[in-house]
Amino acid sequence: MAITLVNPAGLPEIDVYRQVSVASGTQLVFVAGQVAWDADGATIGEGDLAAQVEQCYVNVGTALAAAGATFADVAKLNVHVVDWTPDKMPVLLEGIARASARLGVTPAAPATLLGVAALDVPEHLVEVEATAVVD
């Protein structure tokens, strides 16, 4: 594997991601922010944050596969959520869990969660981008 995930002593352990990733691969893969579109461009889960998170992560998985990568190769995730408030965390985590079950993986790369005012279209509630490293 080109990525080693670490929770260093002195930093809190977070259930859904690790604090640090160390990359040793030779090829970088940058996945554009993925929204809750299906292959035809139709929005999945309009008004349903968990469903949209699930679809975003599935789309990231599809994009990674096209580059010969998997979630095991992801060095960094950025998650942008419209009108974020901390009470939405359980719903976000539900969507990640559903995507993990569908994909058979547990995305654990370091992640940044950003609250944003809006995304590309009003029906999109979340966008997920990834950076991966492969040998």
pLDDT value for 74: 96
pLDDT value for 115: 98
pLDDT value for 14: 85
Return all residues near 76 (Cβ < 8 A) that are at least 6 apart: 21, 109, 110, 111, 112, 130, 131
pLDDT value for 67: 96
pLDDT value for 81: 98
Q: Is the pTM of this model over 0.85?
A: yes
Computed on alpha carbons and rounded to an integer, the radius of gyration of the chain in Å comes to 14
Q: What is the pLDDT along the chain (135 residues), one digit of tens a residue?
A: 689 999 999 999 988 889 999 999 899 999 999 999 999 999 999 999 999 999 999 999 999 999 999 999 999 999 999 999 999 999 999 999 999 999 999 888 999 999 999 999 999 999 999 999 998
pLDDT value for 2: 84
Beta strand 126-134 with 27-34 is antiparallel
Phi, psi for 62 (deg, rounded to 5): -65, -45
Q: Which CATH number fits domain 3-134: 3.30.70.270, 3.30.1330.40, 3.40.50.720, 3.40.50.970?
A: 3.30.1330.40
